[in-house]
Amino acid sequence: MHRERYGAEPRVFAAPGRVNLIGEHTDYAEGFVMPAAIDFATLAGISPRTDGKIAIWAENYGEERVFEAGALPEERSGHWSDYPVGVLRMLEEDGHRIPPLSLTLWGDVPLGSGLSSSAAVEVATALAAADLVGAQYDGPGLARLCQRAENRFVGSSCGIMDQFVSVNAREGCALLLDCRDLSYRLAPIPADVALVIANTMVRHAVTGGEYTSRRAEVEEAAAVIGRHRPEVKFLRDATVEDLERWGGEMSPNALKRARHVITENTRTVAAAEALIQKDLHELGRLIAEAHWSYSRDFEASCEEADAMVELAQGLPGLIGARLTGGGFGGCTVNLVEAQQAEAFRASLGESYRLRTGIEAQIHICHASAGAHRVE
């Protein structure tokens, strides 16, 4: 499509979406997360131009945006093009001149479903544009560039998890990522465990107000604890005992949100250990606990996602199920014994339809590699 449209052979890059196994709303508290990349991705094709323009074509929307190189928009437009334009602008801020270019984007990461379609677009664009301008970024650096595009240009206050795993994921593995220093450990997912991702079909948006207000409550809790223990700047460093002592000085919501984040951090580290030790029973227990903490204390679930998790609970082969991603809709992640995955998918779809009247999309995925050039 790029060749036909722009008359030039593109260099093509792929960046995956992700599913988070555990560790929700902990990344911006400098805590732990454990995502894996999935086999849905964005492809970015790029080639230079000679007419002074930057053209970006989104195959999924059948839409093109054209700008003068050197005069990229300074403000977001609320349009899909904010993601690639934001990335180009951050490259410019890092001192790279963006030459005239044609960029084609195509993706199959389901939109608004909590599987990080936006991070996939950012990372694919960043790899393609960095290659064209000869910019060198290491894995964490490229992820930070994309997060900055989203924070500063697109205007969403997301953490680093999605961009990081899209860049740095490893085939067959989840990553236990320490969002403080971006160090990570690989946690291999056993070959006989399937990742079944069930879309509730309730749309989720990180730019929506709920994500931002939850983040503000988490930061309020950290500030209250920090008044007593100045070394605590982020909930990563806080404990359940801190909440027992000073929780009364917080708003009731901040207290609940903090309880989720603090216990979630502990669960995430324990879940990585369980996965590495292949203790699937313990892993499943932690994942289930994480869901109800996310639902009751963080109040980031919805009726449909709670139903999807409850319905999975009774099915043969389930190891653990929870709502994944930023919350308020989107997908549940189900770790299922691989041999049972097909039957699990069929029964879950059926019982969800009976309960809610909604036809869910359910995918059997596998943990895939991070972003790369496609030959």
Catalytic residues: 162
**Cβ closer to ligand GLA: 158 or 262?**
158
C-alpha span between 252 and 221 (Å, rounded):
10
Strands 35-48 and 63-68: unpaired
- Of 83, 104, 193, whose CA–CA distance to 147 is shortest? 83
- Residue 47's alpha-carbon distances to 8, 44, 110, 119, 187, in angstroms, are 7, 10, 26, 22, 37
**Cβ closer to ligand GLA: 86 or 325?**
325
- Of 48, 117, 175, 156, whose CA–CA distance to 325 is shortest? 117
Site residues (vs ligand GLA, CB under 6 A): 24-25, 27-28, 158-159, 161-162, 206, 325-326
109: helix, strand or coil: coil
**Cβ closer to ligand GLA: 238 or 311?**
238
Minimum CB separation of residue 159 from ligand GLA in Å reads: 3
**Cβ closer to ligand GLA: 20 or 334?**
20
Minimum CB separation of residue 114 from ligand GLA in Å reads: 7
- Residue 132's alpha-carbon distances to 42, 99, 127, 262, in angstroms, are 18, 9, 9, 42
- Indicate the angle between helix axes 252-276 and 280-292, nearest 10 degrees: 170
Minimum CB separation of residue 322 from ligand GLA in Å reads: 12
Q: CA angle at residue 185 from 179 to 190, to 5 degrees? A: 125
Minimum CB separation of residue 265 from ligand GLA in Å reads: 12
C-alpha span between 67 and 249 (Å, rounded):
51
Minimum CB separation of residue 283 from ligand GLA in Å reads: 18
Helix or strand (DSSP H, E) at 292: helix 280-292
Find tokens 């008044």 and name the residue.
227
Which two three-digit tokens encode residue 162? 């999605």
C-alpha span between 14 and 45 (Å, rounded):
9
**Cβ closer to ligand GLA: 157 or 340?**
157
Minimum CB separation of residue 235 from ligand GLA in Å reads: 13
